[in-house]
Amino acid sequence: MSNSLSGKKILLGVCGSIAAYKAAILTRLLVKQNVEVQILMTKSATHFITPLTLSTLSKRKVISRFFEDGHKQWNNHVELGLWADAMLIAPASGSTIARLATGMCNDVLAATYLSARCPVFVAPAMDLDMWQHPATQRNIDYLKEVGNQIVPVGDGELASGLSGPGRLAEPEDIVQFLQQFFDKQDSGNEQPTLEGETVIITAGPTYEPIDPVRFIGNRSSGRMGIALAEEAARQGAKVSLVLGPTDLRPTNSAIEVVPVQTAQQMYEATVARFPSATIGILAAAVADYTPVETSDVKIKKKTSDLVLQLTKTKDILAHLGSIKKENQRLVGFALETNNEEENAQKKLVKKNLDFIVLNSLRNKGAGFRHTTNQITILDRHNNKSHYELKSKEAVATDIIQYLITHF
Ligand code: CTP
């Protein structure tokens, strides 16, 4: 791991959120990377985690007010803003995000934000509906527009009991996000990107209709493919996402989303776009079989047995592999339960891929329904790379980096 964070001075702004406890882990990770961490807390944050914990971990006095010792001492937010190499607000609550977006500076954290000349990173944390509310999204868009870096939210179980986007990104992923930013800055932004590339990505499940109310489907959420689309777009590519039935959508509006239902529709949409693409990444969980006949009316319960005749769907990835041109790169996925590497290797060769991303259902936290994934990449030059369990966003970064640096 590069050490572009070493020696940096970072202001860590902590807001009132159940996720505030993760600020302790974040502080430890940053201190371990030889970062000087100055913590600022909102008043509400002090109800969730004690300043004592954070000052012990950061080895610096935590600042949560403009004045100390009954107005005898002033915490100079302008000096703090100028001292820092970066400001990271994690967790950033909905209310603080709104204050930052409107320039309200009614506490030391928000006042320091206005004084900061360094890059600012905002890692939001809130409940699903708060996160998706147009007011929050407008504030986030505005913060991005004026040059702040937004750390993507996690997706999964929330403190409210709901499940969906809004979780604070994992501390490891936040550190990785910062590190990538400074890596890029250190190398004068000369790192290779996907600038000028056109990428087609498939994601999500397919639904094969049996009758108007029933279908054959699978548990894919599309999260991995959507994360890949976001990362490819972030790296400058023009991205089309052929997306099976799922409620999830990319947040970057520059990504063309082509919604499809069935394997046949996914095949047609992907094959039509591939000739003008330079890269194909097929992450969808396509049904391998589809009913031979679809009933126009709901099938009634009559006999004790019902036999459905199924026929094979077209293998989109294999077809793209067979028409792939010299200037095109093709990446596939393999979800395996046994003989994982052997099966993935066979698919790599058979489908004429540049590399294949293997996730085994045996690995806890990997595959469908999880917000995390653990992958192994096998490429056509016989290289093999194992990765740790990470959020799907961080896995997407690894996959896109592999593509950029190896092909
Ligand atoms: N795939 C595809 N079209 C299909 C089936 C699979 O494009 N009809 C792609 C998937 O998107 C994935 C890769 O092929 O990138 C491997 O999918 P997987 O289901 O693991 O493998 P299969 O080739 O279907 O083989 P099997 O189900 O027998 O393991």
List the catalytic residues. Answer: 218
Q: Do residues 206 and 263 lie in contact, with contact meaning Cβ atoms separated by under 8 Å?
A: yes
Residue 110, domain CATH = 3.40.50.1950
Beta carbons within 10 angstroms of residue 189's beta carbon: 8
- Measure the CA angle with vertex 158, ends 35 and 282; round to 5°: 80
Ligand 1 atom 20: residue of nearest CA: 334
Q: How large is the angle between the packed helices 171-186 and 392-406, nearest 10 degrees? A: 30
Number of domains in the chain: 2
Which residue range(s) make up the domain with 174?
A: 9-186
Same domain, 237 and 384: yes
Measured in angstroms, how far is the CA atom of residue 334 from the centroid of ligand 1? 7
For residues 393 and 173, the answer to whether their CB atoms sit within 8 Å is yes
Q: What's the CA gap between 249 and 227, in Å, rounded?
A: 10
Ligand 1 contacts (CB < 6 A) are 202, 263, 282, 284, 286, 288, 313, 315-317, 332-335, 347
pLDDT at 189: 54
Alpha carbon distance 243, 258 (integer Å): 6
Residue 271 placed within a domain: yes
Query: Of 186, 209, 224, which closes a domain?
Result: 186
Q: Examine the fold and report which residue of 143, 166, 186 is the final residue of a domain before the chain moves on.
A: 186
Other Cβ atoms less than 10 A from the Cβ of 59: the count is: 10
Show Cβ contacts of residue 121 under 8 Å, excluding neighbours closer than 6 positions: 86, 87, 88, 89, 90, 148, 149, 150, 151, 174, 177, 178, 181
319 CA: nearest ligand 1 atom: 7
**Ligand 1 atom 16: residue of nearest CA:** 334
Say which residue the tokens 């259902």 belong to.
Answer: 361
3 state DSSP class of 58: helix
Instruction: Give the span between the Cα atoms of 60 and 111, in whole angstroms.
Output: 20
* Per-residue pLDDT at 1: 42
Q: Compute CA 272 distance to the chain's CA centroid, rounded to the nearest angstrom.
A: 27
Residues 261 and 173 in one domain: no
Clarify whether residues 53 and 164 are in a common domain: yes
Q: State how far the Cα of 350 lies from the Cα of 365, in Å rounded to an integer.
A: 28
Q: Two tokens at 280?
A: 């194909």
Do 204 and 175 fall within a single domain?
A: no
Pocket test for ligand 1, best of 242, 274, 286 (most atoms within 8 A of CB): 286
- The rounded distance, in Å, linking the Cα atoms of 217 and 206 is 6
Q: Please list, in sequence order, all residues whose beta carbon lies within 8 angstroms of the beta carbon of residue 37, skipping any fewer than 6 positions away.
A: 10, 12, 27, 30, 31, 58, 60
CA of 388 to the centre of ligand 1 (A): 23
Is position 4 within any domain?
no
Residue 193 lies in a domain: no
Distance 315 CA to ligand 1 centre (A): 7
CA of 179 to the centre of ligand 1 (A): 35
Q: Is 122 exposed, middle or buried (0-12, 13-18, 19+ CB in 10 A)?
A: buried
Distance CA 404, CA 407 (A): 6
Nearest residue (by CA) to ligand 1, atom 28, is 288
Kindly state whether residues 141 and 221 are assigned to the same domain: no
Residue partners of 82: CB distance under 8 A and separation at least 6: 115, 117
Per-residue pLDDT at 75: 77
pLDDT of amino acid 71: 65
Domain assignment of residue 232, yes or no: yes
Whether 392 is in a domain gets the answer yes
In this structure, is residue 308 part of a structural domain? Answer: yes
Low-confidence stretches of the chain (pLDDT < 70) are: 1-2, 69-72, 188-191, 362-363, 365-367, 369
Q: Are residues 181 and 204 in the same domain?
A: no
Place of tokens 């997407």: 396
Q: 176 and 236 in one domain?
A: no
What local confidence, expressed as pLDDT, does residue 215 receive? 98
Show the tokens assigned to 326.
Answer: 């010299």
Task: Provide the whole-model pTM.
Answer: 0.63
The answer to whether position 322 is within a domain reads yes
* CB 392, CB 170: distance < 8 Å: no
Q: How many CA atoms lie within 13 A of 245 on its CB side?
A: 14
Integer Cα distance of 102 and 72 in angstroms = 30
Residue 174 shares a structural domain with residue 218: no
What integer pLDDT is reported at residue 19 of this predicted model?
96
251 and 161 fall within a common domain = no
| Pair (236, 363) in one structural domain | yes
Q: Are residues 139 and 219 in the same domain?
A: no
Within a domain: residue 72?
A: yes
Long-range contacts of 209-215 (CB under 8 A, 24+ apart): 209/261, 209/262, 209/291, 209/294, 210/291, 210/294, 210/295, 210/299, 210/308, 211/294, 211/295, 211/296, 211/297, 211/298, 211/299, 212/295, 212/296, 212/297, 212/298, 213/298, 214/298, 214/299
Ligand 1 atom nearest the C-alpha of 284 is 11
Residue 228 and residue 83 share a domain: no
* pLDDT value for 184: 79
Question: Based on the number of CB atoms within 10 Å of its own CB, is 42 exposed (0-12), middle (13-18) or buried (19 or more)?
Answer: buried
Among the three residues 136, 159, 186, which one is the final residue of a domain in this structure? 186
CATH of residue 263: 3.40.50.10300
Q: How many angstroms separate the alpha carbon of residue 7 from the centre of ligand 1?
A: 46
